[in-house]
Amino acid sequence: MSRLRSQDKLKSILKDYFVCLSSPLAWCTSVGPAEILRALGFNVYFPENHGALLGASRTAGKYIPRAHQAGYDDEICSYLTADIGAYLMGETPLSQAYGLPSIPRPDLIVFNTNQCREVAEWFGFFGREFGCPVVGIMPPRHITEVSQADIDNVVGQFEKAIKIGGEIMGRPLDYGRLKETVALSKQGAVLWREVLETARKAPSPLTFWDGTILMAPIVMLRGTQVCVDFYQEMLDELRQLMNAKQAAVPDEQVRLFWEGMPIWGRLRALSDLFAENHAAVVASTYCNSWVFDCFNPEDPLRSMAEAYTRVFINRSEDAKLGILRELLDNYHIDGIVFHDSKTCFNNTNSRFNLPGRLQKATGVPSLTIDGDLNDLRFFSEGQVRTKIETFVELLKTLKQ
Amino acid sequence: MNGSFLGIDLGSSYTKFIVIDEGAIIVDAEVIPTLSRRREVLDKAMSGILSRFNIQCICATGYGRRNVQADLHKTELICAAAGVSVTHKMHKSILDIGGEDIKIIESDANGSVVDFYMNNKCSAGTGTFITEIADRAELDIAEMSTLASKSKSDRTINSFCTVFAKSEILGWKFGGVPIEDIARGIYLAVVDRVHKLPLKKGMPLFLCGGVIAHHPFLAGLLAERLQADIRVVEQPQYAVALGAARLAQEEMMSAKPVRESPWITRKLSKT
């Protein structure tokens, strides 16, 4: 049995989700306009989840070289290379886990470059493979604030996706259904935020490591009642743990923030390493990226455009500094770990001295570790262990 | 027999042992290659120490620290700060050039780490870098410092990659570059690497680690190029093991019960 009941519940939810992935089916990026696709009547599949699954199951290392052989460089997104490599080898962990013969075939592919341009190349590959329409939402990038003009721009692109999706489904979008879907997304996102915020209390009942797994519904089932119900139950469970003073990390001595991508193939090892050193990683920009406070069912398209354009990864360094300052304060953070992910330039935030500026602004010390989201050839176990153990000891000394 | 404290530094190239007595005086210092094919070399060194001293507490450090049983396992950065602070009780920076990494540690006067930096996953500028390039240049490591001191050349290796640097050295050799200039060029490449690291001004910089121990020319070159108050610690190769021994002693002094059975009976775990 898992530490949290919600982890067991998640397994059955995901099974139900994957076995129902039949046509009409759309692929979507994880912070893409899934509400539009659901409201049009598509089942929605998220290749980034598949990429993470390849990393977490430590099969990515088997597939990445196959993508290199096909001409995809070894320093581009290792979600992309793992996913394309697995496809070229005709394998998927979904077969063993859920009995799927292959990844589900799309009728439509939609991506949003609010995270990175790599998704355009990744999804474009599959568009050519499956011969289906590929629609790209390309919002303004690296912005400090989201303007009305930016929202107008993105709404215009949503309308193009709605038109193409409607043609495939043979019926126009039902805006009433879109409003209902956005309402469910909002409920789910608010509950997800409340779940994450339970970690503001010391000792925390929840860690970043739990979050990387338990975030699956807000990514893949956003806009559904299943997602809302899951996080309501999870919130109840965490509140019970808080009342019982049950900590996720026994004898929590320091509280850390994780910035950047997870290292999917080393989640357990890193979770154990921090716990051994009585360090609780209680918050992250990664998990918080699916907190969408802007959703408004009465203005679904504009609120979606704003929510998906103002995500952390799409913001300027100044905006990122402000967001991080607030999170460090809200979660009572003693130290921040930046993950410099070799193949994920867009979600690596240590390369333009943000750690230095953040430390100057907040006094919170930072550590940068080298690694990768999926390609473990870029991860050195011994070096990372040494850095983390030293950093945690340093933080303990500073707290004395 | 009075109590003693053992620090073991299992580095990527060498394993260093330091035993200190209750007055924190070094009573034994030993070094063996870490990658000896025969595990019994390590076991024998340990058994010898355990039979000769009344070891009260052991602290293991270095990349291999988890491969020996010890009361404490501390990182080499924490131990370097503790080790250098045994005799240098001041706020300071420490540059530890090891077999596979370069570390900068800012330590307070008491030996606590205040800040640190480690190189990323690349061996450029480390002991392995020097060994590999020297091997390609057919340079005897023991003579490198003497040879380099005879050169005034500013020729340096451009490549950060150890493998490509070896190819570059091949070009130098074919081009008839004098061996003294090659030796100095290798050291200049290490200094270039250190120069890019975030060193803080306004405090002395202590050098430790095996590379400094075997390449004394490097210290002078670093002082010249970095324009810093550079000092080499006594027995630089043992500084980290000394810190480990010191932390072992502090652990015993922190009011923990004295071990009932002596360490001599303990079997080492197998790697």
Partner-chain contact A390 B121, CB within 8 Å: no
What's the pLDDT tens digit per position in B42-93? Answer: 888 999 999 999 999 999 999 889 888 899 999 999 999 999 999 999 999 9
Predicted confidence band at B121 (pLDDT cuts at 50, 70, 90)? low
Check pLDDT > 50 for residue B261.
Answer: no
Substitution target in B59, B104, B115, B120 with the highest count of A β-carbons within 10 Å is B120
Of A378, A379, A383, the CB nearest to B101: A383
Of chain A, the percentage scoring pLDDT greater than 70 comes to 100
Residues whose CB is less than 8 angstroms from the CB of residue B135 and which lie 6 or more positions away in sequence, other chains included: none
Predicted confidence band at B106 (pLDDT cuts at 50, 70, 90)? very high
Partner-chain contact B113 A393, CB within 8 Å: yes
Partner-chain contact B116 A382, CB within 8 Å: no
Substitution target in A378, A390, A395 with the highest count of B β-carbons within 10 Å is A390
Inter-chain Cβ pairs, chain A and chain B, closer than 8 A: 38
**Domain span(s) for CATH 3.30.420.40 in chain B:** 3-82+239-265, 90-233
Reduced to 3 states, what is the DSSP secondary structure of residue B104?
strand
Residues whose CB is less than 8 angstroms from the CB of residue A329 and which lie 6 or more positions away in sequence, other chains included: A362
Substitution target in A360, A376, A386 with the highest count of B β-carbons within 10 Å is A386
pLDDT score, position B271:
30
Average pLDDT, chain A: 97
- As a whole number of angstroms, the distance between CA B145 and CA A95 comes to 61
- As a whole number of angstroms, the distance between CA B34 and CA B16 comes to 9
Q: Is A298 exposed, middle or buried (0-12, 13-18, 19+ CB in 10 A)?
A: exposed
What domains are there in chain A, each with its CATH number? 5-175 (3.40.50.11890), 177-399 (3.40.50.11900)
In chain B, which residues have their Cβ closer than 8 Å to the Cβ of A383?
A: 101, 118, 121
The mean per-residue pLDDT over the stretch B122-128 comes to 78
pLDDT score, position B260:
35
pLDDT score, position B38:
66
Retrieve residue A61's tokens.
Answer: 């290392």
Strands (E), A12-102: 25-28, 43-45
Partner-chain contact B114 A390, CB within 8 Å: no
What's the pLDDT tens digit per position in A218-239? Answer: 999 999 999 999 999 999 999 9
Predicted confidence band at B193 (pLDDT cuts at 50, 70, 90)? confident
- As a whole number of angstroms, the distance between CA A262 and CA A365 comes to 20
Retrieve residue B129's tokens.
Answer: 């870098």
Of A380, A393, A397, the CB nearest to B121: A380
Angle at A293 between CA A137 and CA A48, to 5 degrees: 45
Substitution target in B67, B77, B104, B108 with the highest count of A β-carbons within 10 Å is B77
Reduced to 3 states, what is the DSSP secondary structure of residue A341?
strand
What's the pLDDT tens digit per position in A4-14? Answer: 999 999 999 99
pLDDT score, position A1:
55
Check pLDDT > 60 for residue B258.
Answer: no
**β A366-371/A335-341 pair status:** parallel
Check pLDDT > 70 for residue B159.
Answer: yes
Partner-chain contact A365 B63, CB within 8 Å: no
More reliable by pLDDT, A399 or A193: A193
Retrieve residue B245's tokens.
Answer: 């021994």
Q: Structurally, what CATH architecture does the domain formed by B90-233 represent?
A: 2-Layer Sandwich (3.30)
pLDDT score, position A235:
98
What's the pLDDT tens digit per position in A129-178? Answer: 999 999 999 999 999 999 999 999 999 999 999 999 999 999 999 999 99
- As a whole number of angstroms, the distance between CA A91 and CA A62 comes to 11
Chain B residues whose C-beta is within 8 A of a chain A C-beta are: 63, 74-78, 101, 112-116, 118, 120-121
In chain B, which residues have their Cβ closer than 8 Å to the Cβ of A378?
A: 121
- As a whole number of angstroms, the distance between CA A324 and CA A308 comes to 18
Q: What class, spelled out in words, does domain B3-82+239-265 have in CATH?
A: alpha beta
pLDDT score, position B91:
97
Retrieve residue A212's tokens.
Answer: 């990387």
pLDDT score, position B43:
85
Retrieve residue B247's tokens.
Answer: 């932390």
In chain A, which residues have their Cβ closer than 8 Å to the Cβ of B115?
A: 365, 394
Partner-chain contact A386 B118, CB within 8 Å: yes
- As a whole number of angstroms, the distance between CA B117 and CA B77 comes to 9
Check pLDDT > 90 for residue B210.
Answer: no
Partner-chain contact B78 A390, CB within 8 Å: yes
Average pLDDT, chain B: 87
More reliable by pLDDT, A392 or B257: A392
What one-letter code names the amino acid at B128?
A: T
Predicted confidence band at B227 (pLDDT cuts at 50, 70, 90)? confident
Q: Which DSSP string do the residues of B250-266 spell out, in sequence order?
A: HHHHTTPPPPSS-GGGP
